[in-house]
Structure 1
Amino acid sequence: MSGKVIQNERTALAQNVINQPDGPGKRIGKRSELALIGQVNPDGGAELFRSRIAQFQAEAAYWETRVGTVHDFRITLIDNDTRLLFMITYDGDFKPYVQDIIEQAHPWFDAIFPGIWVGYKSAHDAATIQMVVDSALTADFLYVAHPDLSVHDISKMKKLSKAVNDLFDAAS
């Protein structure tokens, strides 16, 4: 980060924001961010996207649970349906995240993006992977409420909280 920061009571909780060590994106603690912009196929890509998005949305929890590191993932059409904007927050480094997508969620991505995202062939295709890397953007600003909590940590805390509540309910 560049620029001068005036130290005061409002900067006391400043987070240590770094660039990803192995690819595009920023990171705070365990959390990383990534944004991508892709070209939409001008020959019906936007309509095809809209026809597939309900199934893609319905399967999101299944596939993202398999990946196991995604906090949130958003896709939207922008610029009069000519481009796709992807925004992802995940745990860890860039390269292992991409490898997890290739290994764990490739059928999901391969069911939506062919014919929509110009240049997308398959999550296993080397040219597609390079296109993803080349279209990646690094955020200028990133804030994370709980940077040291991974998806796994949050899942454990939810289970523990339920168990404690069940115990208290049983005791009352």
Structure 2
Amino acid sequence: MNNIVIKQTFILADELATIALGKKLANIVKVELKQGIIVFLNGDLGAGKTTLTRGFVQGMGHVGNVKSPTYTLVEPYDLQDWQVYHFDLYRLGDPEELEYMGIRDYFNSDCCSFIEWPEKGQGMLPEPDMIIDLAYHDEQRQVSLQANTTLGERLLSILAP
């Protein structure tokens, strides 16, 4: 892990603001970074992890429903120039199960992977480019984005207002 400590925190008023942040991240990935990213999502149930991912997936060009992969572990989105994978490892019994599903195939330069409950896959997942923590803040959500690699650092520097 790099010693990069760039962090940004936002208060998001509602679901639409959470989706908008996801779309903004997608635009940066498509237009500026032009390569995939790995994002770990942390937060309690209902904190907005899937909502943020929905905004990202839609921002990458997906039209249609974006659902939580709670029972399937991963929901793939095969888009024109990108692969987006939304993982929910909440029900993962053992990190070794990820090896059986070919986890390494999900982390290429044209792949964006958003991983909920990443601690459940400890030892089997690559280092994330970004760690996003979502928490309740009264009726709103507080979102903290932390760069974990040089790529994550670039993303946050572009995201900065």
Tell me the TM-score normalised to structure 2 length: 0.28
Largest Rg, 1 or 2: 1
Structure ranking higher in strand proportion: 2
Higher relative contact order (CA 8 A, sep 6+): 2
Structure ranking higher in helix proportion: 1
Tell me the TM-score normalised to structure 1 length: 0.27
